[in-house]
Amino acid sequence: MALIPAGKYRAKAQTYELAQTKNGDPQVAIDFSLKLGDGTYTRHPWFGHFTEKTTDRTLESLRHMGYQGTNLLEVTPAMLPNVIEVVVEHETDQKGQPRSKIRWVNRGAGSATPLATDKRANFAAEMAKRFKAVDAETARRLGDARGPSQAPTLPGTERDEDEEIPF
């Protein structure tokens, strides 16, 4: 398996298995699809253990992935729908070779709680007023009361009408 650079990656569970360690202790084995910095994807396993020190963190990781049940026998990849963040670190294997390891499974980067329905309209109306105030201040600073959409071109930002936009 190729060495994945150490860092944080967005990931999603692709497989799930209730498994056991070499010593016969229970664990969950999950194969993640990780989005790399160049936009490509790779798969990498994570093993959640059930020891006195690790059980709660393993269960919390399953919650981060979106699991809502309580029976580990019923879990399927479809029950782990959330895009989460994994932390990849490097360690040395038994042969002295470096390897990538998913050290932490965290709540998805950028995940947010939706604004309550009863607050959305008031917030949007307040922000519309603020946009107008910001636009008016920008126009005032530029010495043009027409507003930002019709404000004069700032020095150094002129464009040739024939210039192509690369996207």
pLDDT tens for each residue of 54-99 = 999 999 999 999 999 999 999 999 999 999 999 999 999 999 999 9
Determine the Cα–Cα distance for residues 111 and 135; give it in Å rounded to an integer.
30
Q: Quick one: 7-106 is in which CATH superfamily?
A: Nucleic acid-binding proteins (2.40.50.140)
What pLDDT is recorded for position 154?
A: 47
Q: What is the pLDDT of residue 121?
A: 85
Distances (CA, A) of 38 to 3, 41, 61: 15, 9, 26
pLDDT the model gives residue 108: 80
120 C-beta neighbours (distance < 10 Å), count? 11
Strands (E), the chain: 7-20, 26-35, 41-49, 84-92, 98-106
How many whole angstroms separate alpha carbon 111 and alpha carbon 109?
Answer: 6
> What are the extents of the domains in the chain?
7-106, 113-153
pTM: 0.65
Instruction: Give 135-164 pLDDT, tens digit per residue.
Output: 888 888 887 655 455 545 545 545 555 555
Q: What pLDDT shows up at residue 165?
A: 43
What DSSP state is assigned to residue 60?
Answer: H
Banded model confidence at residue 122, pLDDT cuts 50, 70, 90: confident
